[in-house]
Structure 1
Amino acid sequence: MSQGDERGYGSEPGGRTEDPYSTIGGTRQTRTRLPGGDDTDGYGRRPARSSRSLVMVVGVVVLLVAAIAFANLGDGRSKEPGGGGGKESSAAGAGPTSATGTKPVQGKNGTIAAGFAHDEQGAQSAAANYAVALGSAEMFDKSQRDAILDAVIAPTSVERFRTTLDSAYSADFFANLGLNDDGTAPAGFTFISRTTPVGTKVTKQSAERTTVDVWCTGLIGLAGEGSTKPVTDGWFTITMELEWVEGDWKTVTHSQKEGPAPVGGDNRASSAEEIAGAVNGFGGFTYAR
């Protein structure tokens, strides 16, 4: 699930810039406007960044998703969402995202929810939970990344995803994020990468193949006094094609595009300590439609 200097995804077709890491499916960062006053915590009000600095931040946020999307090239299937030949769902765009009232799944695969229903709701729940897993900080650790991929990716696609992501999570990429060569945070810093779904909708559906859009907001960066890669937020929509296999929904393809993004509020930017404490102290959810 992101997002020349940060590791990047390239740019959207027809929109390539001289910086190859600017966008790919392009999650643009939402910037928080801060009140006047001195910067007393080293993480609050920050000097205005140059356009190149903004491009660097954008490239980081969308990086993971682009790598995943790239892994699907050459799989022999249609690149259109829902390429399994299913009909377009009559529910697509039919109304606002609202709860169905059905209880969340009870099963799990490691720390990831599993055992989703073989219907539209189950596919949406799976896509939301998988978006969280693929956009997590655990993806930066090889062993944890492998476990996540085994849990959420279809067996026929998992090796392709693994190969591409192993190459993408390189020492150079980690260095661009301010991380150590092994992807861990330097002493005194907390690395944060978290994706939070806001809503889901089915765009195409068949009995064995369903395409789901997941509207998300996300955080990424290093929290710590004097961090040069402070935690920033972004808004993006993930499109995930899911296949019903071995009694559950699994991801076959994954792509991302920018927005929809709201207007930034006037909230004061919290200190690095507050951000790290919030991310470490507030647990995630099992998402059900």
Structure 2
Amino acid sequence: MTTPIRKAVFPVAGLGTRFLPATKSVPKEMLTVVDRPVLQHVVDEAREAGIEHFIFVTGRNKAVIEDHFDIAYELQDTLLKRNKIKEYDALIADLPKPGATSFTRQQAPLGLGHAVWCARDIVGHEPFAVLLPDMITLKDDGKGRCLAQCIAAYNKHGGNIIATEEVPADETHQYGVVGLGKDYGDTFEITGMVEKPAKGTAPSNLIISGRYVLGPEIFEILEHGEKGAGGEIQLTDGMKTLAESQAFHGVRFSGRTFDCGSKLGFLAANVAFALANPEIGPGFAADLKKIVGTL
């Protein structure tokens, strides 16, 4: 029997330089896709997957993230006095339960692996999830969003899980790529991981897409790991070491992922989520047709 995945780590200490000047005073994770911050979309996905404790690894000038996941007394009181019950109920529904959030500082930009390691004492000795806050997912079937599919795979196989997506073979050099072993259809054994392989050398066209389920042994590996690409402690390097003693399986995510760390991905996410919104989707689609028709 597998140990339930109760906790998730969200590395949110990045500077967001690709979105300057918008991110000069607003964290990139709080930029909105339609009417919800990018980070809220990611937390929604984790909650839907059954996560109970949300661990945010932050940095300087990120206090607004902590405020976002807290009660806003004045706002809630104003909504009630103005009889805006729908808006009030939406705020309450998004609030984590008391004690369900933790915040810790990374303090120095030493890489994704270091950010995950900073959550070690809060996670403790149990398997946990990692969700990259730049990546938001949209399901296209009844299987749930990406982390739910990862946890289903974990419940089936145990061990460690990495979400993957297919990309054209000529784009694999831009990503971390996994090697395929025994194939189970939606899931498969991972035989190796390569970060940004040279063109023509990738072991597959399946890239690592920002959702992980990892055993707590990763923390000791990250603590003693050498700095990798960019002089940073890389999570992929830590996973490759962990794979020497523990099984890794991949999930072929059946929905769509949007990289909101890039301007094109952020804009595409706004379009996709707006079209999927039942309240504004039809009207937005009509306006979009008019705009596209002028190109």
Q: TM-score scaled to structure 1, two decimals? A: 0.24
Which structure has the larger Rg over C-alpha atoms? 2
More helix by share: 2
| Greater RCO (CA < 8 Å, at least 6 residues apart) | 1
Q: TM-score scaled to structure 2, two decimals? A: 0.24
